[in-house]
Amino acid sequence: MSGPMKRARKIVEDHFACYGAIPQPHRLVDAIAAALGFVQLGAIPHRDSVDEMLAALKGLVNLGKLPGENSLDYFERVAERFHQETGILAPGKDDAIGAVPREQMEAAWNAWRAEKYEKARDVIAKAEGRL
């Protein structure tokens, strides 16, 4: 994991430890922008960049276990988000009618999770001027 990614992850973890959620997402964006080398939010070229950064962070943070959340609640929360976004049940959920083959469920699950990480990596690469 790169230095900026480690700094961004630490900021998100600290934010959750303090607030337990993202009540003021722009403060979190400000903190991450500063960690990535921007002096202030205004230093980010476009508002779209902030919105893209926030969306990528939310996607990534939603994959993590929340403070005090047990493993079952964690799985159910992430599986529900997956189902809302894809219309497919997460692997491990009971598809009583067998509408989606297990292999397709697993492939969709893996692709969905990978997309969340890829979006976060892209935002960091853009902030660092690599994209």
Say whether pLDDT at 83 is over 90: yes
Predicted TM-score (pTM) above 0.75: no
3-state secondary structure of 70: coil
**Least confident piece of the model among 7-16, 23-32, 88-97, 106-115:** 23-32
Q: Among residues 56, 44, 46, 41, which one has the least CA distance to residue 8?
A: 56
> How far apart, in whole angstroms, are the C-alpha atoms of residue 6 and residue 106?
28
For 36, the token pair is 């990535």
- The predicted-structure confidence for 21-79, as pLDDT tens digits, reads as follows 555 555 666 666 666 655 444 444 555 667 788 788 888 888 888 889 899 999 999 99
> How far apart, in whole angstroms, are the C-alpha atoms of residue 38 and residue 16?
22
**Across-strand partners of 91?**
93
- Tell me the backbone φ, ψ of residue 99, rounded to 5 degrees: -65, -30
Mean pLDDT of all residues belonging to the chain: 76
